[in-house]
Amino acid sequence: MIEPLTLEQFKNYHEANGGKWFSPGAMKFFAARVETDLINGCYFITSEQFKCPGHATGKRYFTIRKADMHSLSVETIGTFQQYTTKAAAIKAAEAL
């Protein structure tokens, strides 16, 4: 397989091979947003926000993800919603 150069290319490979990680339903469930393109060729940042009907919407937090080019899966690096700012998550991903 050719290594993707962008997150969009990875998403296309992922979905073409049955992956659902980026599906609208999954993204909506977690109120998730993809915040960056690939960093260092495999990492990207997402943000998620707790939303519960009838309750105040929670703060948006940031997570480092790894696009695994061999299994075409997405892995969480560190812990889910580990970072309070996008800048902190990007800095941490760049250091990986």
How many whole angstroms separate alpha carbon 30 and alpha carbon 20? 13
Are the C-beta atoms of residues 46 and 93 closer than 8 Å to each other?
Answer: no
Q: What is the DSSP string of 30-88?
A: TT-EE--S-BTTTEEEEEEE---TTSPPPPEEEEEEEEETTTTEEEEESSTT-BSSHHH
In a domain, 2, yes or no: no
State if pTM tops 0.75: yes
Is position 47 within any domain?
yes
Count the domains in the chain. 1
pLDDT digit string, tens, across residues 27-52:
988 889 999 999 999 999 999 987 66
pLDDT in tens, 79-95: 999 999 999 999 999 99
- Per the structure, the complete domain to which residue 23 belongs is given by 7-94
Q: Indicate whether 37 belongs to any domain.
A: yes
CA–CA dist 81, 1 (Å, integer): 31
